[in-house]
Structure 1
Amino acid sequence: MSTTVSAKRLAKALASHNIFAEREGNILRVQSTLRSDVRAEILLPDSLPLEAKAVSQLLAFAGMRHPHGGHVCRACATPDFHPGAPVPVGSILVTNHDFVVPESIGRDINCGMRLHVIDVPLERFLAHKERLVALLKGDLLEAARNVPTTPAAMTALFSDGLGAFWRAMRNTREGLFAHIDFAQVEAETTRLFAASHIAGNAHYAPEALQDTRRGLLRDPGLATLGAGNHFCEFQYVSQVLDRHRAFELGVRPGQLALMVHSGSRDVGSYIGTRWMDRAKAEWPTGVKHPESGLYGLCGPLAAEYLTAMHAAAHYADANRALIVELVRQRIRQVFGDQSMPLVCDVPHSIVLSEAGGNVHRKGATPAHAGQPLLIPGSMGDDSYLLDGLGHERWASSASHGAGRAVSRMEMAWKSKHDADAGAQRQFECITLREERRIEEAPGAYKPIGPVIESQVEEGLVRPIAKLSPLLTFKA
């Protein structure tokens, strides 16, 4: 069930999956017919597709309990909602403060978005695009980057965050770090999302990246995009929708922009896997295991997980910042001195301790009042810079993108059997893997318009600027 259907047909289709559903405007309320206490709300216009599998996954998520007292306070989902493995993307789960679900964000801890603006006229950028693409293709796709780090800097990063990493690397003038403006990058840490300043603990991070017997390290995962829907995209500010707020953030009409979407790579996998395994191993002996396969952690273990998670989150911050630095140095090489200031950097796969409990966001972005955030469209669609409005009903959250409408497998099938599959919105994708152009084509995603409009109407966000794509790098 992935096409627009009437409310009556939708309710009937979900009922066959033991789900009761009723719609009120853009909000779909769902409840398990097997457990009356398991319910959730989905912000989803009826023009957007919905899969029963995603709803079943959300209710399994919402129904989690722990024998030692962990429970779910609220479950909801944003308009980019679609099935995940095993937690649906676009879902938000609020638990009591002593309970966490490592599986909720899995291995790609602190996957997120980073936005910079570039003061190069569009015409000049297009005139020199081929040279820039050739340089960045080596850095972003062909492993030509030179990003040496020290064990001490990595330990500082895992424990204290990106600011500590920059300070520890100041005297390592090799490779990428030989040309970094450390005063600028350290100042930019003040624009990171608030959670980036929460302490982690290097004890939970890979020992190989902190081995003091080694000199310089060259971590194969650092400053890399990763696969799937991750990207590095050049855009331009096609419309300013809130002139005063855009001015505060340093955004002007016609500016170029760089948006990076990536996460914690191998470090996130290392930490996430261990804690998902531990949640299962710590399940009380003699107690029936949950049918959903989702396991939580209670009490001191929940707090310990959050500390370990923040170590991986810091790595994701550094990963995005270093990808940007690769681009910034190439921009300066081609166009001369450019500061490329940071506008914002926000997570969308993280667990955060907030006033109402532990908020688990899987493919959902924090949208607290006055907090800038990013909602990208597909490679052929616009992206948006917005302010959060702190809507309590949706746990101060917003979508992290448009959301998939067609699976990667189905897109691959269409490319071989549907002659019209390629007749979609225009886009330019720089990649070494042809399957990326197919799997991540604009037609694989929901249209960004209804996704944004429904969240604006519901009062989750306020648009600041619209950014239109120029070219996208995908690994």
Structure 2
Amino acid sequence: MSKSAPTPGKPAKIERIVAALARQGLAVSRTGSVWTLARPERADTPRAEVLLPDGFPLSSKAAVQLERFASATHPAGGTVVAARATPDFHAGARVPVGAVVATSPDMLVPEAIGTDINCGMRLHVVDLDYERFLAAKPKLVASLRGDLLLGTRDLPMDYRSLRALYRAGAPAWLEQVRATPLGRMALADCEQIETELERCYELGSFEGSTTWFRGGEREIIRDPCLGTPGGGNHFVEIQVVDAILDGRMAHAWGVRQGQLAFMVHSGSRAVGVAVGEHWRERARDLWPTGLAHPSSGVFAVHGEAAKAYLEAMSTAANYGAVNRLLLAELVRLRLREHYGDLAAPLVWDGPHNLVSRERGLNVHRKGATPARAGEPVLIPGSMGQPSYLMVGLGSEHWLASASHGAGRALTRHRARHLDERDAGLAGVECIALHAERLREEAPAAYKDIAPVIDVQVEAGIVGPVARMRPLLTFKA
């Protein structure tokens, strides 16, 4: 008997998962790579669909979490219109990662975004050959270790630029920085940064607010979070473009085989935490008095409260966008310092934790990347697997959304106990301050990226453009 064959008399694992979900009232069916989740007694709740490659397990915990969000409503009106999940679908603390939930325009679910607001990816390419990169690599690593991990990044800000950041995002912030350039930003090419703003998914669908600004009015402020990657799976990675998969699109975006690239993954840091935690409690407090709390435990907001949440979310989104921009600028400035005048243009910057207004609906993406027709999509692998530049195909069925990675195969707790031989760290160069970070983020802690890419191509969500292989990763 092969090792993959089920033991006689014992149900296969997936059969046990389906049976366990059925006991919780959740009906599960599968057609090809698509899993459908529904509660038969709730005919008014949209069926949730999950796209998974063959051999990828359906997480029962994540399935229950997704169905809870699919059933969210508000007594004053508002419903979930559609619920989908991308192939990196796995359980989160309260919200499954890889979830995409579209609601009617009068309702929002703050917890569907959580605290890592406007976490996203940013990709630059660099015309620098590999041998030349290696020649000055030790100096580059030492400089970036200081900037990214040890707090030597030298990013003082005039308080007016920070207030502009909160209120109106990167364009207003950059205007103030140009008027008063300080620290490393005095060396930056602000004209190039301004032209690159056009290559960002969005600079905020909604106005932000200075309500969340805590810097006071000191003339010069050193924000402890701006220009930092943060914990979890956030990173800054230097890569090489090792394959072009769509020559026409790659040429249009300035991507060539053999180029170096650098990818930034980070979000809104402490500002997102403050906004997310406040609105998690606020949504509960605003629930109409005298009405039973939703059995799902998911609290939506409606009307003026929804508008207030959008303002708060957009404030954190503004912060997250500038944080990624600054991280990339620190890398670009160090590359120029060690290798000469390199353009290192931006290919794309896109979020994967945000609400966007699309086709008249509020599309909540939690660990899912917008994949609008013709626009770039960034799907990272682990630090031991390649990352991909894709082009969105605008699939309406999948709410124009793709995965934001391969998804975790092991929790961080389990990954810490991996045997060194099984962690997949051989040949991986990762700069981190603590050894446990390497185990938590080891390649073996993540699913294989290749089938995740393939199943989304087959589903008509994205098309492949280029593949990048990791050379050097920084983890805070």
The TM-score, its normalising length taken from structure 2, stands at 0.94
Residue identity in the other structure for 1:18: G
1:395-410 matches, cutoff 5 A = 395-410=399-414
SS in 2 for 1:138: helix
Name which of 276, 282, 293 aligns with 1:289.
293
Residue identity in the other structure for 1:75: A
Q: 1:72-108: CA deviations, max 9, x gaps?
A: 1111100000001100000010110000011111111
Q: 1:181-231: CA deviations, max 9, x gaps?
A: 1111111111111x315342323322x23x23x111000010000001000
Q: 1:408-456: CA deviations, max 9, x gaps?
A: 11112334xxx64335663211000111100110111110011000000
Q: Which runs of 5+ in 2 are unaligned?
A: 1-5, 7-11
Partners of 2:17 and 2:60 within 8 A in 1:
no
Partners of 1:80 and 1:404 within 8 A in 2:
yes
SS in 1 for 2:294: coil
The TM-score, its normalising length taken from structure 1, stands at 0.95
SS in 1 for 2:313: helix
Distance in structure 2 (CA, Å) of the matches to 1:105 and 1:65: 16
Name which of 172, 176, 181 aligns with 1:173.
181
SS in 2 for 1:394: coil
Distance in structure 2 (CA, Å) of the matches to 1:283 and 1:199: 24
Runs of at least 4 residues off by over 6 Å? none
Comparing 30-39 with 164-173, greater Cα deviation is found at 30-39
SS in 2 for 1:373: strand
Partners of 1:271 and 1:312 within 8 A in 2:
yes
Distance in structure 2 (CA, Å) of the matches to 1:327 and 1:424: 24
Residue in 1 that maps onto 2:3: none
Residue in 2 that maps onto 1:357: 361
Comparing 363-372 with 284-293, greater Cα deviation is found at 284-293
Identity rate, percent: 50
Matched, 1:155 2:159: no
Distance in structure 2 (CA, Å) of the matches to 1:444 and 1:286: 46
Partners of 1:110 and 1:313 within 8 A in 2:
yes
Q: Which runs of 5+ in 1 are unaligned?
A: none
Matched, 1:452 2:460: no
Deviation, structure 1 residue 172: 2.2
Residue in 2 that maps onto 1:24: 31
Matched, 1:138 2:146: yes
Residue identity in the other structure for 1:335: Y
Distance in structure 2 (CA, Å) of the matches to 1:296 and 1:152: 34
Distance in structure 2 (CA, Å) of the matches to 1:289 and 1:392: 32
Deviation, structure 1 residue 252: 0.3
Q: 1:145-187: CA deviations, max 9, x gaps?
A: 1101122111211222211111111132321122011111111
The root-mean-square deviation of aligned C-alpha atoms, in Å, is 1.8
Deviation, structure 1 residue 10: 4.6
Deviation, structure 1 residue 8: 4.3
Structure 1 residues 425, 17: closer, same or farther in 2, change over 3 A? farther
Comparing 448-457 with 275-284, greater Cα deviation is found at 275-284
Residue in 1 that maps onto 2:9: none
SS in 1 for 2:139: helix
Name which of 39, 43, 60 aligns with 1:52.
60
SS in 2 for 1:280: helix
Deviation, structure 1 residue 271: 1.8
Name which of 327, 330, 344 aligns with 1:326.
330
SS in 1 for 2:138: helix
Distance in structure 1 (CA, Å) of the matches to 2:456 and 2:44: 27
Name which of 195, 199, 213 aligns with 1:191.
199
Matched, 1:370 2:371: no
Tell me how many residue pairs correspond in the alignment.
466
Distance in structure 1 (CA, Å) of the matches to 2:102 and 2:196: 30
